[in-house]
Structure 1
């Protein structure tokens, strides 16, 4: 445990999580249970050379710092940096690399990440190779200029599961860093840093925020050198999370376990229900024992999450489902209290090249479900009604 004097010795932009949570100046003197929103752009100095530790909100803010301390503790990291969005966090991490550097990415990734790599990273002189990291050996793909491996597990939207610990060993033996997007499981169910990852990414918009009312992102690290470089990028590019949005995510984290436990319970029930429908040709949920990543998930995660993907027998049937949902929302995003259904081919993965979509199995019959915390029976009744309506409308 850091002492008060140890905390005072911390450099201005260096972060010690325990210092953040125990520093007296961050505790509200009035006894507020909800952490205060420091809605200010700048901070007054007591005198020349006498700073409170905060100067300008672009660089740091007490509310944001409190949130970062909480997320760092949840992920067992040295530091967490809160960004204005998940994509801002990914973009900042890519600034760690230089023109000519090469990295390896999973073939199945969120479309926004693929767009960033194709349109921004390549422009900046970076190159990458794709691989199905859940099943392919990464070693033959490593080049002399390879610097990092980037993945999601489970992947978005096809729910492929990669053994983080085994991949980390191969990556570190060759001096590379491992970057894991942990958005789908959140730190409640999975802690990639404990399994060997060097950087963990989150879209805080999703399960951490949990209410579909704010946007944010995180990069969590355990290495001091990487932390210092990312902190410099963050303060220089100005993509820090606002005080109010920091407070919203702090609020959301308070119910993270309760929400995820209920959402996972619902996800199991829906997956089992969908398996019985004659128009559903495939249900992809890592909590099903037949999922190829089931055993890996049992080993490296404490739960299976609330995301599932399913395929129906025709594009027409899929579109009928989207046209008739009522309790469930046809919307992008995930991880909130409401159940959302998404059509990846035109929404989350619209910018992914067609040949890549086909190779990954993302077609016009695929639907992605982010399961919320509604009553289980209500969700099953919704699916029963929607599937019956879709059958009626497609067999006329």
Structure 2
């Protein structure tokens, strides 16, 4: 729930930003320690009985280690505010709590399966109406889908798992023609090193921090950033009252992972491009979908709105599921496992 405090000069380079944003030794009463410490205390001595003037009162409401990471996450997205939660699913659930009973959500029909399940079950039980549309940036489709009670449009780009992308600015401009509708994007597959959707007009950007941002397969966490003061106040309240917060240790680990994000993403992209080029001409591969390949149908759009193409590859194996599973079972260095964005190479059959 911290506001980024980086100077304009510091914010120019992402690699510099990931090391310094939110990390100033002066904010810690620890003899100016260079590395932010892990603050484990669940409660804090109050300067006055109400605690109204205290920066920290109780760990669920605020924690110095968490504030440090939230400020850093906001900074790399060029956002004013950042929040982290105990998982990516806790993040998207919290976002749905911005809505009232009877409100309407528009979302893509091809996004992360966990998000679809949450919308169809938990959100639906809270009397929230959901319309799923094809992955598109066609303004007319959005205009037809939006109703008088629509309050949220949820998109994913690149999408999970087939790496379709959409013109983010075009969608944001279309949706903002309607009053009181906000746009949220799941940008997990890209990371802040590949795109910054707030600069393209969306209102909220969420990430599964477990993936590229942490990058080491050892933290479960989610995060969301925004530049809107009204959404900041609402999410800050929801974070406090729902309590779906990550531990100080997890915040410390994710903060450390964030520092190497630009370096890791550069290597992810280098390796993904090499593998994609090799597989593109393999006789047993039907199609390679990688945003960095000129053969990707949305390669030009990717170049327009992304800084880099990331490390995600989708493959279509000739034959069927049997051939795909056989391919996976014969890999030597790539591990068959769920998740993505880590220093290991992982593969799964969605």
**TM-score computed with the length of structure 2 as normaliser:** 0.90
Larger Rg: 1
How many residues align structurally? 331
Offset from partner CA, 1:338-362 (integer Å, 9 cap, x none): 0000110xxxxxxxxxxxxxxxxxx
User: Is 1:266–2:268 an aligned residue pair?
Assistant: no
Alignment of structure 1 residues 83-98 onto 2, 5 Å: 83-98=85-100
**CA distances 1:156-194 after superposition (whole Å, capped 9, x unpaired):** 001111101111110101122110011111111110011
- TM superposition shift of 1:256: 0.3
Query: What's the counterpart of residue 118 of structure 1?
Result: 120
Q: Which runs of 5+ in 1 are unaligned?
A: 1-12, 345-396
Q: CA deviation at 1:89?
A: 0.5
Aligned with residue 329 of structure 1, among 328, 335, 340 = 335
Tell me, in whole angstroms, the C-alpha distance in 2 between the residues paired with 1:276 and 1:24: 52
Distance 1:120 1:49, change over 3 A: closer
Separation in structure 2 between the aligned mates of residue 331 and residue 161 of structure 1, nearest angstrom = 24
Q: Which residue of 1 aligns with 2:200?
A: 195
Alpha-carbon deviations, 1:70-89, whole Å to 9, x = none?
A: 01111111211110011110
Alignment map for 1:140-159 (pairs within 5 Å): 140-159=144-163
Residues 78 and 221 of structure 1 are in contact (CA less than 8 Å); yes or no, is this contact kept in structure 2?
yes
Of residues 179, 185, 190, the one that matches 2:190 is 185
CA contact (8 A) 2:110 2:135 kept: no
The answer to whether the 8 A contact 2:106-2:150 is kept is yes
What's the counterpart of residue 9 of structure 2?
Answer: none
8 Å contact 1:209–1:250 — kept in the other structure?
yes
1:104 Cα deviation (Å)?
A: 0.8
Matches within 5 A, 1:1-396: 15-18=2-5, 21=22, 26-27=27-28, 29-48=30-49, 52-136=54-138, 137-175=141-179, 176-313=181-318, 314-344=320-350
Of the structure 1 ranges 133-142 and 94-103, higher mean CA displacement relative to structure 2 is found in 133-142
Shift of residue 295, structure 1, vs aligned partner:
1.4
How far the C-alpha of 1:102 sits from its partner, in A, is 0.8
Q: Select between 132-141 and 233-242 the one with higher mean Cα deviation.
A: 132-141
Structure 1 residue 23: Cα displacement? 7.6
TM-score, normalization by structure 1: 0.80
- Verify the 8 A CA contact 1:28 1:36 in the aligned structure 2: no
Deviation at 1:138, TM superposition (A): 1.2
Provide the aligned C-alpha RMSD in A. 1.8
Query: Aligned-pair distance for 1:21?
Result: 3.6
Q: Find the residue that maps to 2:5 and give its secondary structure.
A: helix
Separation in structure 2 between the aligned mates of residue 127 and residue 230 of structure 1, nearest angstrom? 21
SS in 2 for 1:147: strand
